[in-house]
């Protein structure tokens, strides 16, 4: 009988999953900031390794990057689309693929779209403030 290896789940991995369940999307730097309240000794390298491991296992998803290009992670692992504000960087889950893909595919003559969509624009808060 062979033993089945269960992937290692550190306290940091558990804390990252918990944090993403609350905030939705976060960079490693944002996760580090939140997690240092509970783990003051936590290093950026540990957070990076843990998010990489969780993403590889499918426990968290990779989201569209932050405005500064930093990787962002997503607590929602179900397939979905994103809206990103071009002004403030807000990232919002949405599900528009089924509604817009037929129109997009018709416009690109015979090509087909695979994967999920990221839509850029200006969020309500930035619109209300007149930010462009």
With a cut of 70, say whether residue 5 has pLDDT above it.
Answer: no
Query: In CATH, what number is assigned to the domain containing residue 84?
Result: 3.30.1490.190
pLDDT surpasses 80 at 1: no
The pLDDT tens digits of the residues spanning 71-112 come to 999 999 999 999 999 999 999 999 999 899 999 889 988 899
- Say yes or no: 30 and 70 in one domain: yes
Bridge partners (DSSP) listed for residue 63: 72
Give the DSSP letter string of 57-121: HTSSEEEPPPTTS--EEES--S--EEEEETTT--EEEE--HHHHHHHHHHHTTT----S--EEEE
Give the pTM.
0.84
One domain for residues 94 and 60: no
Range of the domain at 37: 8-77
Q: Do 87 and 58 fall within a single domain?
A: no
Q: Are 99 and 84 in the same domain?
A: yes
Whether residue 42 contacts residue 19, with contact meaning beta carbons closer than 8 Å, is answered with no
Q: Are residues 67 and 95 located together in one domain of the fold?
A: no
Same domain, 64 and 85: no
45 alpha-carbon distance from chain centroid: 19
* Boundary (domain end) residue, out of 77, 105, 124: 77
- Residues 22, 66: one domain? yes
C-alpha separations of 43 from 13, 19, 46, 48, 87 in Å:
13, 16, 5, 9, 30
Q: In angstroms, how far is the first alpha carbon of the chain from the final one?
A: 63
């Amino acid at each position: 009988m062979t033993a089945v290896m269960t992937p290692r789940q550190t306290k940091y991995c558990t804390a990252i999953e918990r944090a993403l369940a609350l905030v939705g999307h976060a960079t490693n730097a944002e996760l580090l900031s939140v997690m240092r309240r509970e783990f003051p000794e936590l290093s950026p390298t540990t957070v990076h390794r843990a998010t990489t491991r969780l993403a590889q296992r499918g426990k968290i998803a990779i989201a569209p990057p932050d405005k500064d290009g930093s990787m962002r992670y997503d607590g929602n692992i179900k397939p979905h689309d994103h809206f990103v504000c071009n002004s403030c960087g807000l990232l919002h889950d949405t599900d528009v693929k089924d509604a817009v893909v037929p129109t997009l595919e018709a416009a690109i003559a015979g090509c087909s779209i695979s994967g999920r969509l990221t839509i850029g624009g200006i969020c309500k808060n930035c619109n209300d403030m007149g930010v462009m």
